Amino acid sequence: MASWYDHPQYFDMVFRDETAAEAKFFEQAFNRFADGKVKRLLEPGCGSGRLVAEMASRGYEMAGVDLSQPMLNYLARRLKRRGLRAELRCEDMTCMDFAAPFDSAFCTFNTFRHLTEETAALNHLRNVAAHLRPGGLYILGLHLIPMDADPECTERWKAKHGGTTVNVTLKVMDFNRKTRTEMLRVSVKAEKRSGKIERIRSEFPLRIYTPTQAKRLLAKVADVYDIAGIYDFDYDIDEDRKFDNDLTDALFVLKRK
């Protein structure tokens, strides 16, 4: 079995349908909440780079950081093919080091939850803040898990592109509220036009956040961020959400003080 992260093309196919809605939301949030013009953007945990490429195509100066070199190599080829540019770095998103500040940053679809210790989560939030100019935004998206959530969870997706069909199954293998971790297994079956089938399986832990736990975490960085807006994965700038126990697909617009 190959690793999910060593096959960016399949990873990318699963999430590509969200790209336009996310990019539109980013620009709406910049216009509504950021102070001054937003031109220079950072994506920590950029993965295969669908959002880096999309925002670069819209005229933004982009930087992307990820720990997976295969992902970054895939992104570099994509940018070259489309005649786009971005600064790409293979490094830890808790201790990034850029010389020039950014106008805004974004990190969506649970990448933040890969930081399985609170110290790492706080270091990341402060590290991003250190790279944002005052009045800039950090748009952070993650799933929150209510106390009454069913730990036995399986989700399935199907995507097609260029003659390849990808079936993805995500299953929670272990769920521990005491350690605040869940172990996920992602299984991918990719069938190509030629009939060749490739199977991929990866397991990895994610940190669990209830709405209350997320609120406590953000309170610890209230000296560097204000919560400018709270939304969900519908990416509707006119439908703000309350920070309550009904918030599960959370999209926080944090504003650098």
**Span 84-130, pLDDT tens digits:** 999 999 999 999 999 999 999 999 989 999 999 999 999 999 999 99
Give the integer Cα–Cα distance in Å for 129 and 151: 33
160 Cβ neighbours under 8 A, 6+ residues apart = 13, 166
User: Where is average pLDDT lowest: 147-161, 203-217, 239-253?
Assistant: 147-161
- pLDDT score, position 134: 98
Give the integer Cα–Cα distance in Å for 190 and 108: 24
Transcribe the chain into DSSP letters.
Answer: -B-GGG-HHHHHHHHGGGHHHHHHHHHHHHHHH-SS---EEEEET-TT-HHHHHHHHTT-EEEEEES-HHHHHHHHHHHHHHT---EEEES-TTS---SS-EEEEEE-TTGGGG--SHHHHHHHHHHHHHTEEEEEEEEEEEE---TT--S--EEEEEEEETTEEEEEEEEEEEEETTTTEEEEEEEEEEE-TTS-EEEEEEEEEEE---HHHHHHHHHTTTTTEEEEEEE-TT--TT----SSTT--EEEEEEEE-
Architecture of domain 154-207: Single Sheet (2.20)
Residue found under tokens 């079995």: 1
Region 4-145+209-256: CATH code: 3.40.50.150
Give the integer Cα–Cα distance in Å for 68 and 6: 8
**Cα dist. 21→10, 75, 115, 249, 257 in Å?**
20, 20, 25, 15, 27
Beta strands 181-191 and 87-90 are unpaired
User: Where is average pLDDT lowest: 43-57, 151-165, 243-257?
Assistant: 151-165
- pLDDT score, position 147: 80
Residue 4 predicted with pLDDT over 90: no
Transcribe 208-226 into DSSP letters.
Answer: ---HHHHHHHHHTTTTTEE
Give the integer Cα–Cα distance in Å for 182 and 45: 19
**Could you tell me the residue ranges of all domains in the chain?**
4-145+209-256, 154-207
Mean pLDDT computed over 1-13: 76
pTM as predicted: 0.95
- pLDDT score, position 14: 81
80 Cβ neighbours under 8 A, 6+ residues apart = none
